[in-house]
Copies of this chain bind each other. A is one copy, B any other.
């Protein structure tokens, strides 16, 4: 049994992670930390797993943590995460980091977009980006993996193969994303107060969302191509699920059906990416680790629709997929 610790275990992604790990045959959760000094009871924070895990929250303390844990998932906010991750890696603990700290190619971009000094700058740019379908070989050999952002996952899965095979133009790339409210985290805020966001849709962060540079840089890493995606997220009155509608222009002589076939080929042996003939709903994939993708023509443009569960394929499911790879376990263990 692999002894697993979760750093920052009170949020929604941590709950999904715990639920997945409770089903994973090779895992034993031995440590749960929280930054809340009151160390609340697990059944109070996550009543859904009441009586399923005999463990309570403790404050993070590297020595006791390192003693009880072989593998760590770190679910802290940016900057706070790298502070802990560097200690864990130095102790030889393998880590999947949920934060944005190790996703970008360089510290300068990180510090510009996140407006904070990076606590572990030396590692930035050396850590595999945790989309297994795109970076499997690097992930297999890594001590630390940067779990991807939920919006970038939904955009990169369809875009990366098409751009790297030179099938679509690098401009315009317009990503119009719709997300459930769990994507905003668990901290109360007027914007996510039920009567404010129920029965309503809104765009937010137009031109300023931090997942935009992440998408651009990962495309650069995979395809050696500069793109400048236009990314607009929208808040949808539902718990979970992301749908990204992506507008691209095929290269001359290429049409939607060729794009469809190429993606279908590319993902042929992948369990968790399904290229569909009909327009997918987020409900087809919520509570699963799947990403479904469709491709349609609309005049000169191609409209790609990609759906995934922001908490699973966009966070905790992908994290366990990476965990399986890093430990040489069958990739689908616990997430099918």
CB within 8 A of A195: which of B47, B51, B239, B292? B239
Shortest Cβ-Cβ A-B pairs, 3 listed: A207-B298, A200-B283, A188-B188
The B-contacting residues of A in range 167-216, CB under 8 angstroms, are 171-172, 174, 176, 178, 180-182, 186-190, 192-204, 206-207
CB within 8 A of A206: which of B44, B276, B281, B296? B296
In the assembly, what is the distance between CA of A336 and CA of B247, in Å? 38
The B-contacting residues of A in range 235-285, CB under 8 angstroms, are 236-241, 243, 245, 247, 274, 276, 278-285
The range of chain A's interface size is 35 or more
In the assembly, what is the distance between CA of A193 and CA of B11, in Å? 13
In the assembly, what is the distance between CA of A123 and CA of B72, in Å? 56
The oligomer's copy count stands at 4
In the assembly, what is the distance between CA of A301 and CA of B283, in Å? 31
In the assembly, what is the distance between CA of A307 and CA of B200, in Å? 10
Residues on the B chain within 8 Å of A281, using CB: 47, 200-202
In the assembly, what is the distance between CA of A230 and CA of B298, in Å? 6
Most buried by B among A178, A198, A285: A198
Q: Does A105 contact B (CB under 8 A)?
A: no
Residues on the B chain within 8 Å of A287, using CB: 287
Task: Write the residues of chain A forming the contact surface with B, with a CB cutoff of 8 angstroms.
Answer: 12, 22-23, 44, 47-48, 50-52, 171-172, 174, 176, 178, 180-182, 186-190, 192-204, 206-207, 228, 230-232, 234, 236-241, 243, 245, 247, 274, 276, 278-288, 292, 296-301, 303, 305, 307, 336
CB within 8 A of A236: which of B47, B204, B237, B239? B237
Residues on the B chain within 8 Å of A48, using CB: 283-285, 288
Check B200–A197 contact: CB distance below 8 A: no
Minimum CB distance partner of A285 in chain B: B48
Check A203–B50 contact: CB distance below 8 A: no
Minimum distance in angstroms from A191 CB to a CB of chain B: 9
Known A-B contacts A279-B203, A283-B48, A284-B47; the reply to A188 vs B190 at CB < 8 A is yes
